[in-house]
Amino acid sequence: MVTTADFLDDNTRYAYLVDDELYVGTFARYVKDWVEAYHCGTNISNEIRTWDDRIHVTVTYHGTDDNDYMHYELTTELGQSARFTIDGRA
């Protein structure tokens, strides 16, 4: 479950793979799919693509707090970022 998220998103559509299936969506949609893949144990690519570009997505784990919330950040070299927490008790 995403409890907080801040997105810098220009509404560009990206293509990426989730368990070898092609998905298309914004960076915000990619982040939601990343969290779902995390919970389901499925694979999601660490690369999002436009027609012309390949953009690497970096996942940074910022630790777990006293309430078992895990803090993550996804960033791209384009300056997009999303910081969010996942309830580790779920």
pLDDT for residue 90: 65
Q: What is the pTM of this model?
A: 0.84
pLDDT for residue 89: 77
pLDDT for residue 16: 97
CA distance 86 to 1: 5
Q: Which of 37, 73, 75, 84 is nearest to 56 (CA)?
A: 75
Domain count for the chain, please give it: 1
Mean pLDDT of successive 10-residue segments in the chain (90 residues)? 51 93 94 92 95 94 90 90 84
Residue 42 is part of which domain span?
A: 2-87
pLDDT for residue 7: 54
